Structure 1
Amino acid sequence: MIKFFLLANRQGQIRLSQYYENIPFEQRPAIEAEIIRKCVSRNASQCSYIEYHSYKVIYRKYSSLYFIVGVDNSENELAILELIHNYVEILDTSFEQVVYKAHFILDEMISNGNIVEISKNAILDYVNLMTLTDR
């Protein structure tokens, strides 16, 4: 099960954070800072998985952004890397209003910490439908 999804830049600034488990709001900045520091400090030859307390943290770097997902031990790391890749492709396809759409697309892919949709075409169809109704 997915516990959180973070998007951060190389300087460690959070660009998006979504939690699927109750983590007190006041604890989040410290957790995020430590996880991001660990991910940013790793080099390209190291694997994209780290352990952090009771979480497996899977991350992927695209350009200057780090897409970071915290999961429990039952989750498949390769499936999470595929989820991240699909999310990035969908963001690339629908780059207008990126912050609003980033949350919207993530909500279409993950619900209550569970992956519910990974089809790029299905998600883009829904995003395009919502974009048409917003006009």
Structure 2
Amino acid sequence: MIKFFLMVNKQGQTRLSRYYEHIEINKRTILEADVIKTCLSRSKEQCSFIEYKDFKLIYRQYAALFIVVGINETENEMAVYEFIHNFVEVLDMYFSRVVSLIIMFNLDKVHIILDEMVLNGCIVETNKARILAPLLILDKMAES
């Protein structure tokens, strides 16, 4: 099960965070700071899977963005690694570029995409057309 999903820039600023289990706000801040520091300090040659406290971290870097997913010990690391790439491909299909500013100014749409893909910490959809369908309908309604 996915515990949390983070998008962070190279400076360590959180651009998106979604938690799938309850963590108090002050503990979230500490957790995010520690996770971000851990992932950003690693070199490109190091593995993208990290054992961290009572869960695992899976991360990928796309230009200046890092996507970090915290999972429990029963989740498949490679499936989550591929899920991250699928998520970025969906963002790329919709926005045509995945950069920090686009994420910041379209945070609601990024949350919609993530919500279509993950439900209660479980990956439920990977088909790009199905993921984007509700967002495209909203865009058509906004145009008319």
Tell me if both proteins adopt one fold, taking TM over 0.5 as the criterion.
Answer: yes
Q: Encode CA deviations 1:108-134: one digit per residue, 9 max, x unaligned.
A: 100111111011121122321232233
Measure how far apart 1:79 and its partner are: 0.8
Structure 1 SS opposite 2:38: helix
Map residues 1-135 of structure 1 onto 2, 5 A cutoff. Answer: 1-95=1-95, 98-135=106-143
Q: Which moved more, 1:68-77 or 1:116-125?
A: 116-125
Measure how far apart 1:72 and its partner are: 0.3
Q: Which moved more, 1:123-132 or 1:100-109?
A: 123-132
The number of residue pairs the alignment matches comes to: 135
Q: Distance in 2 between matches of 1:8 and 1:52?
A: 18
Measure how far apart 1:51 and its partner are: 1.2
Measure how far apart 1:64 and its partner are: 0.4
Measure how far apart 1:82 and its partner are: 1.2
Normalising by structure 2, we get a TM-score of 0.89
Q: Distance in 1 between matches of 2:133 and 2:112?
A: 13
Give % identity.
49
Stretches of structure 2 that go unaligned for 5 or more consecutive residues are 96-101
Structure 2 SS opposite 1:66: strand
Structure 2 SS opposite 1:16: strand
Q: Distance in 2 between matches of 1:113 and 1:2?
A: 4
Stretches of structure 1 that go unaligned for 5 or more consecutive residues are none
Q: Distance in 1 between matches of 2:87 and 2:133?
A: 14
Contact 1:86 1:118 in 2 (8 A): yes
Contact 1:91 1:98 in 2 (8 A): no
Normalising by structure 1, we get a TM-score of 0.94
The amino acid of 2:131's aligned partner reads I
The amino acid of 1:94's aligned partner reads Y
Structure 1 SS opposite 2:129: helix
Structure 1 SS opposite 2:6: strand
The amino acid of 1:100's aligned partner reads D
Q: Distance in 1 between matches of 2:43 and 2:73?
A: 24
